Amino acid sequence: MYDGNFSLWCDFVERDFIGGEFKELLNNQTINGATSNPSIFKSAILNSSAYLKQKEDFKHKKAKDLYEILATTDIKLAAQAMLKNFANKDDGFISIEVDPNLSDNANATYEEGKRLYGKIAMPNVMIKIPATEAGFEAMSDLMSKGVNINATLIFSPTQTKKCLDAFQSGTEKFKKRFLNADLPQGVISVFVSRFDRLMDDKFNELGIEKSKLGIYNATKCYHLIQEANLPNVRTLFASTGVKGDDLKASYYIDELMFKNAINTAPLETIKAFLEKKQEIKEPANQKILDEYFANLEKNEICMKDVYSKLLSDGLNQFEIAFDEILKSLK
């Protein structure tokens, strides 16, 4: 763990990596958690030879069942590697996402999340659920049963508030059911860099500073989470890798090193971050944020449209990746 209760997690999972470099990063306290998503598993399962034997052993299984065998094996191995962190209350969590095609079905999301959590059977696993209307319901229901939740694809303050409501509701139900038990943990994964990739060209035309929207929007969401003061919920900044050479590789980690926050980043981004010691930063205050977004409104930038597009694109990207995994396993 870094100063100010800032945590760094690795946004990458792959069988050989878990058995090698991942353990080194944990042992030297570079990272203390990890995340996965369908795009990460697509790259790993389709391109790594580490899965060939297990694919062959279970080739008679249906595609989704085979995928779950491969993915849950990785998640369990990673969770086992981080049990020391978890026992020391130094995070130690790994996330696995439910089938993104279920994002509009609360009951199916809940049932799959419960099944995956039970199948992996590790206390330091988080079930990752997209922040849709159905997702909020499933998050609350799962947390009420003691399941740790990673709410993903958060772009807007509205989504953030709904996640907080879902987590608070689920936690209260859990506390009534399980007196004096450790609370299930939740993270709200606020996506960052996708804002700038979408809007920087437009901002360049308008004379608006580039590569700030993602940071300031994430900061708005961070303030909401901090103000809610839920003891078992933290902000997780996601989508923090950069594209191209315009920005320093660790830009989105450096700028979002806030107290009590987590940043999950690709391996190459983490390595760039480690090249220079960084200090905990004070987030921009509400006045600065209000002025920034008021200026966007003056320039006819509709943030509601931006949020809607990014959520739609994010869901679509994960659905495509998930479907391509299943197609390759048939």
Q: Residue 1: is its pLDDT beyond 60?
A: no
Nearest partner of 304 among 151, 204, 205, 159, judged by Cα: 159
pLDDT at 276: 87
- In angstroms, the Cα distances linking 245 to 163, 242, 250, 300 are 34, 8, 11, 29
Q: Per the structure block, which two tokens stand in for 178?
A: 């399980």
Alpha helices in the chain (DSSP H): 15-19, 21-27, 38-47, 52-57, 63-81, 83-87, 106-120, 133-144, 157-177, 193-206, 213-228, 251-254, 267-273, 286-298, 303-329
Q: Residue 75: is its pLDDT beyond 70?
A: yes
Q: Averaged over 251-278, what is the pLDDT?
A: 95
Q: Averaged over 319-328, what is the pLDDT?
A: 97
Model confidence band, residue 278 (pLDDT cutoffs 50, 70, 90): confident
Q: Per the structure block, which two tokens stand in for 165?
A: 């409501």
Q: Averaged over 153-175, what is the pLDDT?
A: 98
Active site residues: 128
Instruction: Please write the tens of the pLDDT for every residue from 102-151.
Output: 999 999 999 999 999 999 999 999 999 999 999 999 999 999 999 999 99
Q: Averaged over 153-182, what is the pLDDT?
A: 97
pLDDT at 110: 98
Angle CA 45–49–54, to nearest 5: 70
Instruction: Please write the tens of the pLDDT for every residue from 190-233.
Output: 999 999 999 999 999 999 999 999 999 999 999 999 999 999 99
pTM for the model stands at 0.97
**Count of other CB atoms within 10 angstroms of residue 52:** 9
CATH fold, domain 3-329, is TIM Barrel (3.20.20)
pLDDT at 273: 95
Question: Where along the chain do its domains lie?
Answer: 3-329
Q: Residue 4: is its pLDDT beyond 80?
A: no
Q: Please, are residues 33 and 82 in contact by the beta-carbon 8 Å criterion? A: yes
- Computed over every residue of the chain, the mean pLDDT equals 97
Q: Averaged over 278-285, what is the pLDDT?
A: 94
Model confidence band, residue 245 (pLDDT cutoffs 50, 70, 90): confident
Q: Residue 244: is its pLDDT beyond 60?
A: yes
SS (H, E, C) 225-294: HHHHCCCCEEEEEECCCCCCCCCCCCHHHHCCCCCCEEEEECHHHHHHHCCCCCCCCCCCCHHHHHHHHH
Q: Averaged over 169-195, what is the pLDDT?
A: 97
pLDDT at 2: 67
